[in-house]
Amino acid sequence: MNQEYARVSVEMPENDKKKSETFQIASDIQWEDAGDGVVRQIMAYDDNLMMVKVKCEQGAVGPIHQHPHTQSTYVASGCFEVTIGDEKKILKAGDGYYVAPNLPHGCVCLEAGILIDTFTPMRKDFLK
C-alpha cells in the first residue's frame, strides 16, 4: 500500500537547532544525577518539546519549584505525593498531572518509581 504524507517544514538557522536523535534507545542514554535519590534520562527533545524519564528512590523529594515551561507528567510506576499550587494528591502508576507555567509544584516519592515528564518549550537548563 503506497501512502503519501504531507510534510511541513519550518526553516531555522542551523546554529539555532537543538534536537535529539530520532530514536531514543534507553540503554544508550546515560542517567544523570538530579540529586537526593533522583536520576533522569533526557529522551526526545527539540526547541519546542522535551521528554524526560525520571527515576526516584522511595523517600526522594522533588522540592517545590516553578519554571516558565508547561509540564505534563505521566506516572509510569511507583507512588508519589504531588503538590501543585495549593492542591495535594497521591498518584500511582497510570495517573498523570498537568502544571501550568510558573505554578509552584513538587513531589515526594512514596514508593520507588518512574515519572515521564514532558515540557514545552524544552528545558534548555537540562542540557549540558
Question: Would the pTM count as exceeding 0.75?
Answer: yes
Contacts 24+ apart (CB under 8 A), 74-79: 74/115, 74/116, 75/113, 75/114, 75/115, 76/113, 76/114, 76/115, 76/116, 77/112, 77/113, 77/114, 78/109, 78/110, 78/111, 78/112, 78/113, 78/114, 78/115, 79/109, 79/110, 79/111, 79/113
For 8-38, what is each residue's pLDDT tens digit?
A: 433 444 445 689 999 999 999 999 999 999 9
Digit-coded pLDDT (tens) for 34-59: 999 999 999 999 999 999 999 999 99
Cα 85 to chain centroid distance, Å, stands at: 19
